[in-house]
A and B are shown apart, each in its own frame.
Chain A
Amino acid sequence: AQTVTQSQPEMSVQEAETVTLSCTYDTSESDYYLFWYKQPPSRQMILVIRQEAYKQQNATENRFSVNFQKAAKSFSLKISDSQLGDAAMYFCAYRVPTSGTYKYIFGTGTRLKVLA
């Protein structure tokens, strides 16, 4: 079964500190994309970072970076220099091709609290 597991329902981090959100997934596909989405309390989901499975280099977007371990099927998100605006639900997802289109599988989310 294709699944995404986020084992941390809630995390806290002190402002300016670093936090890592974990994500593991299960797929037999070799061609897929991985994503981290952020959903602030206003509920508009936005893309934080993406990783192509065929790329060995970990993706980085400013303060956000991933640790992609393909063999272990692990895709964690590191947030450096945490800011109050980083407080949100974070969803890990992957996209796999299926029947001429794509299917997105999402995890259950991790709620990140940033402490001032």
Chain B
Amino acid sequence: KAGVTQTPRYLIKTRGQQVTLSCSPISGHRSVSWYQQTPGQGLQFLFEYFSETQRNKGNFPGRFSGRQFSNSRSEMNVSTLELGDSALYLCASSLGGTGRNEQFFGPGTRLTVL
């Protein structure tokens, strides 16, 4: 079974631009979560989607948004990029149910904002 894939792996943008990141979960997984990883901050939760609905949201400004498609693939969009948005963005998928469901992470997208 293929793992979680994220595209692109690397992005360089300038301040003020917008960016869209993509995540394809493991087949059969209905939950997709997004995290921002920066040195010293660890992983900060952005949001979770389940069956095309945002089920949970972290404390990020409205410039960060996402969506999930019927095939469970998810996209994350960041508008009006700021220098501080430079980070590794990780996507994780899970079955989405209760109990011992674990998250499986993708390799991440490294975003650099100049």
Which of A's residues lie within 8 Å of B, judged by CB? 4, 6, 33, 35, 37, 42-47, 50, 52, 91, 93, 98-109
When the two chains form their complex, are residues B43 and A91 in contact, meaning their CB atoms are under 8 A apart?
yes
Which of B's residues lie within 8 Å of A, judged by CB? 3, 33, 35, 40-45, 48, 50, 55-56, 88, 90, 92, 100, 102-108
Specify which chain A residues have a CB less than 8 angstroms from the CB of B55 in the assembled complex: 99-101
Specify which chain B residues have a CB less than 8 angstroms from the CB of A52 in the assembled complex: 100
Q: B56: which of A45, A93, A99, A107 is its contact (CB, 8 Å)?
A: A99
When the two chains form their complex, are residues A108 and B56 in contact, meaning their CB atoms are under 8 A apart?
no
**In the complex, what residue of chain A is closest to B56 when comparing beta carbons?**
A101
When the two chains form their complex, are residues A104 and B42 in contact, meaning their CB atoms are under 8 A apart?
no
**In the complex, what residue of chain A is closest to B48 when comparing beta carbons?**
A101
